[in-house]
Structure 1
Amino acid sequence: MSARPPSSVSYRAFLFDMDGTLLNSIAAAERIWTRWALRHGVEVASFLPTIHGVRAIDTIARQHLPGVDALAEAEQITREEIEDVEGVVPVPGAAAFLNSLPPLQWAIVTSAPMALALRRMEAAGIPRPAVMVTAEDVSDGKPNPACYRLAAERLQVAPQDCLVFEDAEAGIKAGEAAGADVRVVTATHTHPVATPHPLIKDYRELGVEVDEAGRMRLNPTL
């Protein structure tokens, strides 16, 4: 749970959440989840803030709706989200920042299923990394740290040698529990974020230096 400034430490790998961190899919997600909530008699205003950063199946299961098959409902939600990417846009500067990184030293770790993740990344112009961890890869989603630990393992680095980029509470907790440092992206936040971790609004003023040992260090470009 370090709040060290970006220039004070270097990392072997960067691990990125997707929705809200690399791209903004709020408009599409809230359209689809609003329809789902109305179909099931769930109060929309209090429900929508709970959908971000976690797997669809976990969102549905938490509602404890009698007679509702969470897996089947989640699969239907995913189909609708794949079909509807209107308004899915990149977080400013995200694509350029990712393209500046050593290709085998970053991963995307998302609560979305692989098909949906690739669809949204394509819509937003986000490059596909060599390593992705998606909803299918873990039995317990965020805030469980398994997803970030798995990404580190696939990159052949220790979680403690990674920097996690996140926007949602569940993902921040997952990064912390994995033992990684965390940086919070506020591009899609409408209210101030209370967190001990350093904040960035987006990636437009962020660069990276890679030293002779291949370790990465964040640098403001200003």
Structure 2
Amino acid sequence: MSVQHSSTAYRAFLFDMDGTLLNSIAAAERIWTRWAQRHGVDVVTFLPTIHGVRAIDTIARQHLPGVDAAAEAEQITREEIEDVEGVVPVPGALAFLQSLPPAQWAIVTSAPMALALRRMEAAGIPRPAVMVTAEDVSDGKPDPTCYRLAAERLQVNPGECLVFEDAEAGIRAGEAAGADVMVVTATHTHPMDTVHGQIRDYRGLGVRLEDNGSMRLSTTP
């Protein structure tokens, strides 16, 4: 475990959802594989591009003639809401979230709200007071608006936040928002070359509360 930010105090933690708090890769890849096959898109090269970004952006990037990206994204969302088989929490995530002050963390996801809540329920992840979802922004990750909005709703400066992310688009969004970033590698199949601190999962990760209400990461045996 590399807890690079243990010496820094934060006012809030901002969590991506898919790949960061829960693992939904099996379900997502089942659905997106069918979509790619329907539209003649090469599955092997396409699947790595779906993670961490909004469905509408994933589809629009393909520049397929005659394809309504918004309508296709709505259909993908309906299929993903129906299929949560294999959606599980990242190890240690629930205990770590339960250790945080409720008003000092948020979920910032590229998923629509209905899908986010469905997957969180399937994985046993609690709903925080603040969630930023696909409907809240006009530009998805790597645009930093989502993380800036979460910080605003928590009434903190983005520079006082630590973002937990797993995907390149989300890491870039956190950086651009001015936050520190912690990379969660639980769902990675290959090592990630990053300047940021990394954790495999949340087992052994704790938080120390300061007298002024800020939080510091800590590790336990």
Show the 5 A alignment for 1:134-213. Answer: 134-213=133-212
Letter paired with 1:48: L
Letter paired with 2:48: P
Structure 2 match to 1:104: 103
Letter paired with 1:200: I
Structure 1 match to 2:114: 115
DSSP 3-state at the match of 2:6 = helix
Show the 5 A alignment for 1:27-46. Answer: 27-46=26-45
Show structure 1 runs of 4+ deviating over 4 A.
none
Q: How big is each residue's C-alpha offset from its partner over 1:149-193, in whole Å with a ceiling of 9 and x where there is no partner?
A: 000000000000000000000000000000000000000000001
Distance 1:204 1:92 in 2: 6
DSSP 3-state at the match of 1:59 = helix
Shift of 1:7: 2.1
Q: How big is each residue's C-alpha offset from its partner over 1:98-151, in whole Å with a ceiling of 9 and x where there is no partner?
A: 011000000000000000000000000001100000000000000000000000
DSSP 3-state at the match of 1:81 = helix
Unmatched segments (≥5 aa) in structure 1? none
Structure 2 match to 1:82: 81
Structure 1 match to 2:216: 217
Quick check: 1:6–1:219 contact (8 Å CA) kept in 2? no
DSSP 3-state at the match of 1:15 = strand
Shift of 1:221: 1.1
TM-score w.r.t. length of structure 2: 0.98
2:55 pairs with 1:56? yes
Distance 2:118 2:4 in 1: 34
DSSP 3-state at the match of 2:103 = coil
DSSP 3-state at the match of 2:217 = strand
Letter paired with 1:40: H
TM-score w.r.t. length of structure 1: 0.98
Distance 1:112 1:149 in 2: 17
Shift of 1:4: 8.1
Which of 3-12 and 172-181 deviates more?
Answer: 3-12
Letter paired with 1:55: R
Letter paired with 1:162: C
Distance 1:4 1:27 in 2: 28
Distance 1:139 1:221 in 2: 40
Letter paired with 2:42: E
DSSP 3-state at the match of 1:149 = helix
Distance 1:150 1:98 in 2: 20
Distance 2:91 2:163 in 1: 18
Letter paired with 1:136: E
Distance 1:173 1:24 in 2: 21
2:7 pairs with 1:14? no
Unmatched segments (≥5 aa) in structure 2? none
